[in-house]
Amino acid sequence: MSILADPTSTRPTTPASDAALAVRSWVTSIADLTQPDAVVWCDGSAEERERLTALMVESGSLIALDPELRPNSYLARSDPSDVARVEARTFICSEREIDAGPTNNWREPAVMRAELRGVFDGSMRGRTMYVVPFSMGPVGGPISQAGIQLTDSPYAVVSMSIMTRTGSDVLALIDAGAPFVPAVHSVGAPLSTDDAGVKTPDVPWPCNDLKYIVQLPETREIWSYGSGYGGNALLGKKCYALRIASAMARDEGWLAEHMLIIRATSPQGRAYHLAAAFPSACGKTNLAMLRPTIPGWTVETIGDDIAWMRPGPDGRLRAINPEAGFFGVAPGTGHRTNPTAIATIARDTIFTNVALTDDGDVWWEGLTDEVPEHLTDWRGQDWTPASGTPAAHPNSRFTVAADQCPTIADSWDDPAGVPIDAIVFGGRRATNVPLVAQAYSWEHGVFMGATISSEQTAAAEGTVGELRRDPFAMLPFCGYNMADHWSHWLDVGAGLTPENRPEIFQVNWFRKGEDGSYLWPGFGENSRVVEWIVRRAGGEKVGAVPSPVGLVPAPGALDLDGLDLPDDTVTALFDVDPGSWLTEADLTEAFFERFGDRTPAALTDQLDDLRARLQVWLHPVQRAARA
């Protein structure tokens, strides 16, 4: 089918430039391959979103919530098999396997292309293909990048219009020659028509058991097949802003990271910016929306999932949030834990896989202390507290525009970005890792990032709770060899002057006591840790003392006023057991060995230094036992 001749195509005015013609011919070639009934060019308007939303309500893909309780908001229930990112089916296709590295699934580009042609052949039959031009970052900004997603999922279109800047102004930029990343998405569920011309009825959440989430970092392409969910299907997010962008960033001297960005202002009126990487479902959205419990501090939100950072004209590392919305974890998000998120999602929100209340609102575990007597669960089944299953899927999410967040910073969409003072790495660790520690140097900070380990969450398939290495919180998202990512970080740091180089820290909100409960209250109380971090990064006089794993707050330096924490809990939060850490060091050595000679020498040196510090701290009894 030719787009130019297609009467159902809403193609904008006849393009003039070569760039514009190239875009149309690419769209035509994908339509020829996937054979949709119609092609619709999206303009990103409110009217368009309303039209697609109404279409999905009519088809049963969306349930309208009670407009009094939750204006202009909807619930989507996915197929029960399509609830999270599929890492086992995510591929990095570089020409050479070594350039994808041992932590990525690699396929040869030519082999993968041939396979993709097979699965995409006719995959949009009976459906509409939408053309969604989008910008990651403010349209035309110096750190921003464009893309075009072709998709047969109206849910993906509407979600992309919340999560990115979509529409005609981006297409105009691309038509004028701005580079863009082509991203093709199909749910892989063509609708056939029988001899009598009757189409097979659609299902509320079409998808396919076979899934492909494919990135070709060298040719900057994305192909996604079989899933309609989150990071699998909203291709601006993980596929582009992390996997493809990390490869671009490596080539061009910048950074694309799985990081939140906040601005914290002290009672003295000094503003600091912090970027923090935690693995999926480990607290980025919550820290990004933190409501400080310590007097006089404010925290404003800039981004909750992704940061693009590059040295600016002033020599400082400047960060933008390339997204325009939040795709946040619902369970655990409550009035007590994250009131800012609760205010953000009061209206104009799409909820996916949460429970439905009898009065037409949403509910999930942790939203309220009180559990409703009756709900419709995420699968659409009757639910009572006696059901014994979660009412909302553990990876259920809300999709909402960033500017609905009451704490969004004025500077959140500044195209030039904000200057970063502190970089934080964290994970979900029940043992060993202290509440907070500051790196001794940039190299030590890169070592902290490279050695993050975290208990797995429901954000991807796999066993929840299993400890795994998640370097830079980028294990599922680095578009090239992870060890090269560490070298790149070392290079970026070396290119910044000491005054402009952010300080690096490590945090752990998730340490548990012997009874299995969290030692640290977390959430708003994390402001106490943020204060120590940004004051240290700002070169202010706040005490720190050395430990084998980094500088930790000196006694009294961390504000614990008004917190009812017993002394032995505080001690336990900062306990560094050299014996256990030496065991971690052995595991780190084995982990580094997986990357062979790509592991930068600076990091093996850091491992030596860590072991040397641990030996000094080792109790004589432990030392004798290890000898």
Ligand X SMILES: O=C([O-])CC(=O)C(=O)O
Ligand Y SMILES: Nc1nc2c(ncn2[C@@H]2O[C@H](COP(=O)(O)OP(=O)(O)OP(=O)(O)O)[C@@H](O)[C@H]2O)c(=O)[nH]1
CA distance 280 to 277: 9
Interaction of residue 470 with Mn ion, rule CB under 5 A: no
| Phi-psi group of 242: left, alpha or beta (phi > 0 → left; psi -120 to 50 → alpha; rest → beta) | alpha
Stretch that binds ligand Y, among 219-227, 277-285, 355-363, 535-543 (CB under 6 A): 277-285
Residue among 9 and 232 whose Cβ is closer to ligand X: 232
Interaction of residue 189 with ligand Y, rule CB under 6 A: no
CA distance 67 to 52: 18
Q: How far is the CB of 285 from ligand Y (least distance, A)?
A: 4
Q: How far is the CB of 168 from ligand Y (least distance, A)?
A: 29
> DSSP assignment, residue 244?
I
Q: Which of 54, 203, 518, 540 binds ligand Y (CB under 6 A)?
A: 518
User: Which residues of this protein are in contact with ligand X, per CB under 6 A?
Assistant: 85, 230-231, 237-238, 280, 305, 327, 459
DSSP code per residue over 568-594: HHHHHHH---HHHHHHHHHHHHHHHHT
3 state DSSP class of 166? strand
Residues 293 to 332 in contact with ligand Y, rule: CB under 6 A: 304-305, 328-329, 331-332
Strands 145-151 and 180-186: parallel
Query: What residues does 551 pair with on adjacent strands?
Result: 438, 546
Which of ligand Y, Mn ion, ligand X, none binds 331 (CB below 5-8 Å, type-dependent)? ligand Y
Q: Is 609 annotated as a binding residue?
A: no
CA distance 266 to 535: 9
Residue among 473 and 607 whose Cβ is closer to Mn ion: 473
Contact 276, 420 (CB under 8 A): no
Q: Is 237 annotated as a binding residue?
A: no
Residue among 327 and 480 whose Cβ is closer to ligand X: 327
Contact 39, 28 (CB under 8 A): no
Interaction of residue 283 with ligand Y, rule CB under 6 A: yes
End-to-end CA distance of the chain: 74
Please identify every residue annotated as catalytic.
282
Q: Is 305 annotated as a binding residue?
A: yes
Q: How far is the CB of 423 from ligand X (least distance, A)?
A: 18
Q: Is 523 annotated as a binding residue?
A: yes
Residues 418 to 477 in contact with ligand Y, rule: CB under 6 A: 459
Please give the sequence-ordered ranges of beta strands (E in DSSP) within 169-211, or none if there are none. Answer: 180-186
CA distance 167 to 140: 13
What residue number has its CB nearest to Mn ion? 305
Interaction of residue 304 with Mn ion, rule CB under 5 A: no
Residue 284, C-beta contacts closer than 8 angstroms, at least 6 positions apart: 258, 259, 260, 276, 277, 278, 304, 305
Q: Is 231 annotated as a binding residue?
A: yes
Interaction of residue 251 with ligand Y, rule CB under 6 A: no
Q: Which of 285, 353, 396, 547 binds ligand Y (CB under 6 A)?
A: 285
Give a three-class secondary structure readout of 351-407.
EECCEEECCCCEECCCCCCCCCCCEECCCCCEECHHHCCCCCCCCCEEEEEHHHCCC
Q: How far is the CB of 371 from ligand Y (least distance, A)?
A: 16
Backbone angles phi, psi at 223, to 5 degrees: -135, 125
Residue among 305 and 421 whose Cβ is closer to ligand X: 305
Q: Is 611 annotated as a binding residue?
A: no
Q: Is 281 annotated as a binding residue?
A: yes
Which of Mn ion, ligand X, ligand Y, none binds 231 (CB below 5-8 Å, type-dependent)? ligand X
Q: Which of 305, 421, 525, 559 binds Mn ion (CB under 5 A)?
A: 305
CA distance 149 to 182: 6
Residues that contact ligand Y, how many (by CB under 6 A): 23
Stretch that binds ligand Y, among 97-105, 203-211, 265-273, 279-287 (CB under 6 A): 279-287
Which of ligand X, ligand Y, Mn ion, none binds 238 (CB below 5-8 Å, type-dependent)? ligand X
Stretch that binds Mn ion, among 261-269, 303-311, 410-418, 533-541 (CB under 5 A): 303-311
CA distance 19 to 212: 29
Q: How far is C-alpha 52 from the chain's CA centre?
A: 26
Residue among 340 and 457 whose Cβ is closer to ligand X: 457
Which of Mn ion, ligand X, ligand Y, none binds 522 (CB below 5-8 Å, type-dependent)? ligand Y
Q: How far is the CB of 525 from ligand X (least distance, A)?
A: 24
> What are the angstrom distances between the C-alpha of 200 and each of 1, 23, 188, 404?
22, 32, 14, 39
Q: Is 541 annotated as a binding residue?
A: no
Residue among 175 and 323 whose Cβ is closer to ligand X: 323
Backbone angles phi, psi at 173, to 5 degrees: -65, -45
Which of ligand X, Mn ion, ligand Y, none binds 311 (CB below 5-8 Å, type-dependent)? none
Q: Is 525 annotated as a binding residue?
A: yes
Backbone angles phi, psi at 177, to 5 degrees: 110, 0
Which of Mn ion, ligand X, ligand Y, none binds 523 (CB below 5-8 Å, type-dependent)? ligand Y
Which of ligand Y, Mn ion, ligand X, none binds 518 (CB below 5-8 Å, type-dependent)? ligand Y
CA atoms within 13 A on the CB side of 102: 14
Q: Is 208 annotated as a binding residue?
A: no
> What are the angstrom distances between the C-alpha of 42 and each of 10, 191, 279, 326, 504?
8, 22, 33, 21, 42
How many other CB atoms are there within 10 angstroms of residue 441's CB atom?
Answer: 15
Which of ligand X, ligand Y, Mn ion, none binds 351 (CB below 5-8 Å, type-dependent)? none
Binding residues for substrate: 85, 229-231, 280, 395-397
Binding residues for GTP: 281-286, 397, 428, 523-526
The binding site for Mn ion (CB under 5 A) comprises 280, 305
The binding site for ligand Y (CB under 6 A) comprises 278, 280-286, 304-305, 328-329, 331-333, 337, 459, 509-510, 518, 522-523, 526
Binding residues: 85, 229-231, 238, 258, 280-286, 305, 395-397, 428, 523-526
